[in-house]
Amino acid sequence: MTHLSDSGATAPATDFTPVRIRDAVRRILDAEAMPPIVQAGHPVLRQLAAPFDGQLDAAELGAFIARMREVMHAAPGVGLAAPQLGIPLRVAVLEDQYTIDPASSAARDREPLEFLAVLNPRYRSVGTETASFYEGCLSVSGYQAVVSRHRQIEFTYLTPEGQPNRQRLSGWQARIAQHETDHLDGTLYLDRAELRSLSSNAEHSARWAQPGIDEARHTLGFLPDQDNGTHAPSAQRSGS
């Protein structure tokens, strides 16, 4: 099934008009300082973002995407959705060029992701396999938790030039795409997380930074039926 996201939550649609969206973006572009990343509790993170439908002209859209990428790099992060800058518009940027140790890269199926700017993204699962790993969010600063997500997806979106595109993503690339699409539907990763796994960044670094989640799973008491981070339907946890 093709979907925006599958959290099961019902988010209200944004009440921003196209003019209000454009004006809010222009304020970000006119400011000398980078905009702050909106934190959990702000209503924009719990609303359905408006589909992109020409609210910005090509120059404004290009400048806004460039600013989003700048904020993402400065954070630093591997993705950023427009609502995280207070803009309820279905636009996101994704990029993962960070180097991690080979064991973690292999366990998490983490390959570099070239920069993508996407409009109106959607995804559908490919197969039934899911993967469970610690995940964080720039809008839930200071914490991480284990989230089960589809291991492979078909990701569809419009490019900034308006061209439709379709990609098959797997592993960490698929995780990033699902996380950012969720933001556009008013869903935070904590809505999907195993809450017993919730850890501060400091505790995660000190205790649970291993390539997989088995030690955290046994010690903190979550996902009792899984033997590793990747699992098939018999041990599947819902991605919602």
Q: 13-22, 100-109, 206-215: lowest mean pLDDT where?
A: 100-109
Q: Which two tokens stand for residue 144?
A: 């991480």
Would you say 199 and 144 are in contact if contact means Cβ atoms under 8 Å apart?
yes
Amino acid letter, 235 = A
**Residue 221: which CATH number?**
3.90.45.10
What are the distances in angstroms from CA 184 to CA 73, 98, 116, 232? Answer: 20, 24, 16, 28
pLDDT of residue 75: 97
Residue 179 lies in a domain: yes
Domain membership of residue 170 as a residue range: 2-235
- Any idea which residues carry the catalytic annotation? 180
pLDDT tens string 101-157 = 888 888 888 998 999 999 999 999 999 999 999 999 999 999 999 999 999 999 999
Where residue 10 falls among pLDDT bands split at 50, 70, 90? confident
Asked if residue 73 belongs to a domain, the reply is yes
Task: Work out how many domains the chain is built from and give that number.
Answer: 1
Q: pTM for the complete prediction?
A: 0.89
240 occurs within a structural domain? no
Domain membership flag for residue 107: yes
Nearest to 46 by CA among 14, 16, 68: 14
- With beta carbons less than 8 A apart as the criterion, state whether 42 and 79 touch: no
- Summarised one tens digit per residue, pLDDT across range 48-87 is 999 999 999 999 999 999 999 999 999 999 999 999 999 9
Please, is 51 exposed, middle or buried when counting C-beta atoms within 10 Å of its C-beta (0-12, 13-18, 19+)?
Answer: middle
Residue 237 is predicted with a pLDDT of 29
Backbone angles phi, psi at 27, to 5 degrees: -65, -40
Compute the chain's Rg from CA coordinates.
17
DSSP category for residue 130 = E
